[in-house]
Amino acid sequence: MDKLALYDALKRCTAREAKILRIRYYRGKTQTEAAAELGVSQAQISRIEKAALQKLKKYMT
């Protein structure tokens, strides 16, 4: 059930948010590594990741 809820919540994320979450949590990269891979700043990764995690929390509760 939790995997299904997570899958449904991930569908509500933007493509960019989902990509960052995959890099960070499935591939285990740091924010700095993710930023270098995507060509953005670590601060941008932090903001996008925070927003994505808030969405997941909202839709999984």
Our count of domains for the chain comes to 1
Its domain, for residue 20, covers 2-60
CATH code (residue 21): 1.10.10.10
**Cα–Cα distance measured from residue 5 to residue 34, given in angstroms and rounded to the nearest whole number:** 25
pLDDT at 16: 97
**Across the chain, what does the average pLDDT equal?**
93
- Asked whether the whole model's pTM tops 0.75, one would answer yes
pLDDT at 1 over 80: no
Mean pLDDT of 24-43: 97
**Cα–Cα distance measured from residue 50 to residue 45, given in angstroms and rounded to the nearest whole number:** 8
